[in-house]
Amino acid sequence: MPVPAQPIRLYRVALSGHSHRVELFLSLLGLPFERIDIDLAKGESRTPEYLARSPFGQVPAIEDGDVTLADSNAILVYLASRYDEAGTWLPRDPVAAAQVQRWLSVAAGFLAYGPAAARLVTVFGAKLDQDNAKAIAARLYKVLEPHLAGDGFLTGARPTIADVALYTYTAVAPEGGVSLAPYPNIRAWLGRVEALPGFVPIQRTAVAA
C-alpha cells in the first residue's frame, strides 16, 4: 500500500459522524494523519482560509500533499482509489463498484436525513423536524435489517467504504432517539465493523434513546 509523504491533515469536528467516517477509514487503512479540530461555534468553518479548502464550509476536509478535498464520501472514494491498491475497499468490478455507490447514495440520503438529522436535534440543538427524521430512519432500517441477515457486510463478505459510510450515524442513532433494539442484524453488523483491525470509535455524548 502506498504511504503519503507526510501525514494527511484531517480537518474535523470530533462529534461529527461525517468527520468520523473519514477518521475511521484513515485508521483502517493504517495511514498517518493529523487531526485538526474545527470549532463551528466560533465560525472556523466560514473563515476565508477554511473556505479556500472547502468552498461550501463542509467539515471534514483533508489535505494530502497537493490534494485538498472536502465532502466525506468523496474523501472515502479518493483514499480508497489512491491507497488501496488491492481494490478491496472500492472494488473495480463494475457491478461491485455500483453496489458500493448505491450505499454511498443512501448515506447521503436516507442516513443523512434520518438518523443523522435526528441526532442533530438532540446533540446540537438543530431546528429540524425530529419526528420526520425518525420516520426516515425507520424506513432505512426496515430495508437494512433484512439486507444484513447473515455474517457479511453491505456488499458481500468483505467490508467496503459503503460500510464505513453507513457505520457511524447508525452506531450513534440512539443519540437521536432512534433505538436499535428492534434490529439485531444491524447491531451484529456494527459489531463486525468494530472488530476490524484499526477500528476507532466516535466520541460519544451523554444523549441516548
| 103-118 tens-digit pLDDT | 999 999 999 999 999 9
Torsion over CA of 149, 89, 169 and 48, rounded to 10 degrees? -170
Measured at the CA of 31, the angle between CA 29 and CA 33, to 5 degrees, comes to 135
For domain 8-83, give the CATH superfamily.
Glutaredoxin (3.40.30.10)
Q: The whole model's pTM is what? A: 0.95
| pLDDT value of position 4 | 86
- In CATH, what number does 94-194 get? 1.20.1050.10
Where does the pLDDT of residue 208 fall: very low under 50, low under 70, confident under 90, or very high at 90 and above?
low
The gap from C-alpha 139 to its chain's centroid, in whole angstroms, comes to: 19
Q: Hey, CA dihedral for 149, 153, 155, 158, is it positive or negative?
A: negative
According to CATH, where is 1.20.1050.10 located in the chain? 94-194
| 115-159 tens-digit pLDDT | 999 999 999 999 999 999 999 999 999 999 999 999 999 999 999
* Side chain identity, residue 37: D
